[in-house]
């Protein structure tokens, strides 16, 4: 188990460091942060409520976009990440925007965070749980979260059998790219049961439908505007016409309260 966990960390860290090198070339210090226009990210942030004066943990902070966004909204933020490259970009963003007193960043794993029990008012995790050993990470989130505190996660789910089949048997073949790492996995029912076993309140929110748009990204790579528009409109039609199918969206938001 120890060797397996260590190998997972090495793969994830190497992947994140390589991604950080690419993102460094695209880095911009200004307030134009595309990730905050992601409807799932915005839903997760809104679910935290008023964050002014609160102490927040940004789990897997990446290049610091969300940490900076939350700091601007009045919270004090600690961002953690496994990648030194990502942390360098996070720190640079905060320095460039003169928010050093509101946010700082530390290198550590999500499975063993170096904070005392009941340290944080809230925890945010954007597309991070599926890169981790979920049970260990969720137990740490529960431990460091204050009683009555909230945690929100934007995550990939394994509910849609068509997407999971495509991910397992088509991605990485036939010219279809595979994004991410070989060690990550969309959240399963088992993962959700673990989360529900710890937190007194667990809510899964579906603010949008991410189905054909994902296939458009993987297969057509957004090269054909007509197809992209069709996929977007089809997903939107599914979302409103068949609310019961929203749980099949690849991306969803989890909100928990301790």
Averaged pLDDT for residues 215-235: 92
Residues 6+ apart with CB under 8 A from 172: 178
Task: Read off φ and ψ for residue 22, nearest 5 degrees.
Answer: -70, -45
For residue 110, which of 70, 146, 139 has the smallest C-alpha distance? 139
Q: How many CB atoms lie within 10 A of CB 10?
A: 12
The β-bridge relationship of strands 120-126 and 55-59 is: parallel
Give the pLDDT score at 170. 80
For residue 99, which of 123, 75, 63, 121 has the smallest C-alpha distance? 75
- Whether the CB-CB separation of 61 and 20 falls below 8 Å is answered with no
Residues 6+ apart with CB under 8 A from 23: 63, 89
Share above pLDDT 90 across residues of the chain, in percent, rounded to a whole number: 70
CA pair distance 114, 255, nearest whole angstrom: 23
Side-chain half-sphere of 169: how many Cα atoms within 13 Å? 6
pLDDT tens figures, 1-47: 445 677 778 888 888 888 888 887 777 766 566 666 799 999 999 99
Q: What is the CATH number of domain 2-211+248-257?
A: 3.40.50.150
Give the pLDDT score at 158. 95
Give me 188's structure tokens: 């399963």
Residues 6+ apart with CB under 8 A from 226: none
pLDDT tens figures, 112-145: 999 999 999 999 999 999 999 999 999 999 999 9
Sketch the domain layout of the chain as residue ranges: 2-211+248-257
Q: What global pTM score does this model have?
A: 0.91
Give me 246's structure tokens: 């929203």
pLDDT tens figures, 194-205: 999 999 999 999
| pLDDT top residue among 143 and 220 | 143
């Amino acid at each position: 188990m120890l060797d397996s966990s260590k190998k997972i960390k090495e793969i994830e860290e190497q992947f994140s460091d390589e991604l950080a090198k690419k993102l460094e070339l695209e880095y911009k210090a200004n307030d134009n942060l595309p990730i905050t226009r992601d409807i799932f990210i915005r839903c997760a942030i809104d679910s935290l409520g008023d964050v002014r004066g609160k102490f927040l943990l940004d789990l897997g902070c990446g290049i610091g976009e969300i940490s900076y966004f939350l700091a601007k909204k009045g919270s004090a933020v600690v961002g953690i990440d496994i990648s030194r490259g990502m942390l360098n970009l996070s720190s640079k963003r905060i320095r460039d925007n003169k928010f050093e007193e509101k946010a700082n960043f530390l290198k550590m794993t999500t499975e063993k965070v170096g904070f005392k029990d009941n340290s944080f008012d809230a925890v945010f995790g954007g597309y991070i749980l599926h890169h981790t050993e979920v049970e260990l990470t969720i137990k740490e989130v529960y431990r460091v979260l204050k009683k009555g505190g909230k945690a929100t996660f934007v995550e990939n789910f394994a509910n849609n059998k068509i997407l999971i089949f495509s991910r397992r048997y088509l991605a990485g073949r036939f010219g279809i790219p595979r994004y991410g790492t070989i060690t990550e996995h969309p959240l399963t029912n088992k993962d959700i049961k673990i989360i529900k076993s710890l937190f007194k309140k667990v809510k899964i929110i579906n603010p949008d439908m991410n189905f054909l748009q994902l296939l458009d990204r993987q297969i057509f790579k957004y090269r054909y505007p007509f197809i992209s528009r069709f996929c977007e409109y089809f997903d939107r039609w599914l979302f409103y016409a068949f609310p019961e199918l929203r749980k099949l969206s690849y991306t969803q938001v989890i909100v928990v309260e301790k």
